[in-house]
Amino acid sequence: MTASSAWDRFCENVRTAAVAGAAEQFERLNWNSEQIERAQSDGLRALLLYAAEHSPFHQRRLTGIDLTTIDPTHLSALPVMTKTDMMDHLDDVFTDRRLCRSDVEAALGATGAQGVTILDDYVALASGGCSGRRGLFVFDQSAMTAYGAALGRSPFTTPASDVPSELRMAMVAAPSAVHATGFFAALTATGDWPIRYELVPATLPLSQIVKRLNTLQPPTLGGYASILEQLAHEALAGRLRIAPAQVTASSETLLPEIRSLITEAFGVPVLNFFACTEGLAGKTAKDDDVFTLNTDMCIVELVDADNRPVPPGVASDKVLITNLTNLIQPLIRYELNDVFVRQPDAPAHGHLRARVRGRSDEIMRYTDAEVHPIVIRSMMVKSPDVIDYQVHQTESGIDVFAVTTDNLDVDDLTVQLRRALADAGLDGAHVAVKRVDGLERQAASGKLRRFVPIAR
* Whole-number pLDDT of residue 157: 41
Residue 442 scores a pLDDT above 60: no
Is residue 288 located within the same domain as residue 381? no
Residue 252 scores a pLDDT above 80: no
For 67, the domain range is 1-360
The residue out of 336, 360, 384 marking a domain boundary is 360
* Whole-number pLDDT of residue 445: 36
* Number of structural domains in the chain: 2
The CATH number linked to 235 is 3.40.50.12780
Closest to 245 measured CA to CA, from 222, 213, 220: 220
Q: Is 321 exposed, middle or buried (0-12, 13-18, 19+ CB in 10 A)?
A: buried
Higher pLDDT, 454 or 272: 272
Is residue 422 located within the same domain as residue 344? no
Indicate the pLDDT class of residue 164, thresholds 50, 70 and 90. Answer: very low
Higher pLDDT, 79 or 365: 79
* Whole-number pLDDT of residue 176: 84
As a whole number of angstroms, the distance between CA 37 and CA 345 comes to: 14
Average pLDDT over residues 279-288: 88
Indicate the pLDDT class of residue 254, thresholds 50, 70 and 90. Answer: confident
* Whole-number pLDDT of residue 155: 55
Strand-strand pairing, 430-435 and 451-452: unpaired
Indicate the pLDDT class of residue 342, thresholds 50, 70 and 90. Answer: very high
* Whole-number pLDDT of residue 456: 57
Residue 360 scores a pLDDT above 70: no
pLDDT tens-place string over residues 382-421: 788 887 788 999 999 999 998 888 889 999 999 999 999 9
Q: What is the phi-psi region of residue 234: left when phi exceeds 0, alpha when psi lies from -120 to 50, beta otherwise?
A: alpha
Average pLDDT over residues 110-136: 82
C-alpha angle with apex 38: 34 to 41, nearest 5 degrees? 135
Indicate the pLDDT class of residue 300, thresholds 50, 70 and 90. Answer: very high
Indicate the pLDDT class of residue 50, thresholds 50, 70 and 90. Answer: very high
Closest to 95 measured CA to CA, from 136, 66, 137, 52: 52
Q: What pTM was computed for the model?
A: 0.80
The CATH number linked to 416 is 3.30.300.30
The residue out of 360, 389, 409 marking a domain boundary is 360
Specify whether the CB–CB gap between 259 and 270 falls below 8 A.
Answer: yes
Is residue 253 located within the same domain as residue 395? no
* Whole-number pLDDT of residue 137: 97
Average pLDDT over residues 163-178: 75
Helix, strand, coil percentages (3-state) for the chain, rounded to 5, are: 35, 25, 45
Residue 439 scores a pLDDT above 80: no
* Whole-number pLDDT of residue 289: 87
Is residue 145 located within the same domain as residue 123? yes
Is residue 294 located within the same domain as residue 328? yes
The residue out of 343, 360, 377 marking a domain boundary is 360
Residue 38 scores a pLDDT above 90: yes
**Mean pLDDT over all residues of the chain?**
88
Is residue 308 located within the same domain as residue 444? no
Indicate the pLDDT class of residue 188, thresholds 50, 70 and 90. Answer: confident
